Amino acid sequence: MSIFHNSTSLVFLLTGVPGLQRTHAWISIPFCCLYLTALSGNTLILFVVFTEPSLHEPMYYFLSMLSTTDIGLCISTMVTVLGIFWLNTQEISFNACLSQMFFIHLFTIMESSVLLAMAFDRFVAISNPLRYATILTHARIAQIGVAIITRGTVIMIPLILLLKRLSFCHSRVLQHSYCFHPDVMKLSCSDTKINSAFGLTAIISTAGVDSIFILLSYILIIHSVLSIASSEERKKAFGTCISHVTAVAIFYIPLISLSFVHRFGKHAPPYVPTLIANIYLLIPPVMNPIIYSVKTKQIRKALHKLLCPKGPHIQQSLLP
């Protein structure tokens, strides 16, 4: 049995959709459409936020952070996923695998952190609207952005270093079309108790803690909204949170499901983790721009102004 100690000769084999290898060319069509939708939608959100002066507010700066992390997630996986479907390129070196894993998990942690920051933004906007601009200043938003990047990096570096010390002698076939930490760890013939413990601690201290604080934020938001006398104002306040609540749901549900499948779903069919993994990676980047474009009036107006700049003038010229 060959034993590899993270040498340059170690190569992993990525997997497409188990049992459907012959139809990979057809399966690549919806994947390609989803990637194009996610990249174009999030790029458009970034463009309108930074070019439209009316969107230079804390809420939209956090939205631009969310779009940035979604673009990062897409780019981190797109090459290997489409490479398998189009060219049947399954091999990936150990170091390339670690690099891809670093960025996938980094952007996942960052997205969780951004969703928490957006929950705080909604809490301040609803509970203390008069001090909203003084609490969430441009400098403070920049500090939050730096803290989000630093947090993800500090957590991911030890995770990668712990993997580099492992030896690999089992099957080198991964379950996904990209490198995922629990997936790679399971292929090692070394003792992975420390890796498993640190990985579990990482997800609890990031997504776990973030989800708890998001829940607490919404408990406080609901308390603040219910204290508003006008039913119309209460409805308006709740309406500003719908987009964020939906974004939280489509991010955390697949993430938690994938983590449980990897740790406790040893007897699950092989297509189950593949399906959940693809949902976890692609659905949030695809849906977030759509959700915020549909549910946020200011974003809709900015997009309409960008995409149909001559619309109002044409309508005016048609008036009698």
For residue 3, the model assigns a pLDDT of 56
| pLDDT (0 to 100) of residue 237 | 84
* Residue pointed to by tokens 């609890």: 204
The mean predicted confidence, pLDDT, of the chain is: 86
**What are the contacts of 132-141 at 24+ separation with CB within 8 A?**
132/58, 133/58, 136/58, 141/58, 141/61, 141/62
8 with 93: CB under 8 angstroms? yes
Residues 201-222 pLDDT 10s? 998 899 899 999 999 999 999 9
CA distance 140 to 162: 34
Q: Which is higher by pLDDT, 25 or 109? A: 109
Crossing angle for the helix pair 58-87 and 24-51, nearest 10 degrees?
160
Q: Note the pLDDT of residue 267.
A: 67
> CB atoms < 10 A from the CB of 84, how many?
25
* pLDDT for res 8: 59
Give the pLDDT of residue 41. 94
Read off the pLDDT of residues 60-69 as tens digits, 9 standing for 90 and up.
999 999 999 9
Parallel, antiparallel or unpaired: strands 11-13 and 91-93: antiparallel
Nearest-10 Cα torsion for 109, 110, 115, 120:
110
Q: Among 14-18, 50-54, 224-228, 238-242, whose mean pLDDT is lowest?
A: 14-18
Q: What are the structural domains of the chain?
A: 11-302 (1.20.1070.10)
Q: 54 vs 49, 68, 130, CA distance in Å? A: 8, 20, 18
Comparison of pLDDT for 94 and 255, the residue scoring more = 94
pLDDT the model gives residue 234 = 84
- Burial annotation 15-37 (CB, 10 A radius, 16+ → b, else e): bbbeeeeeebeeebeebeebbeb
Q: What would the pLDDT profile of 150-195 be if each residue is shown by its tens digit?
A: 999 999 999 999 998 888 876 788 888 899 888 888 888 888 889 9
Confidence of residue 315 (pLDDT cuts 50, 70, 90): very low
- d(Cα 242, Cα 260) in Å, to the nearest integer? 27
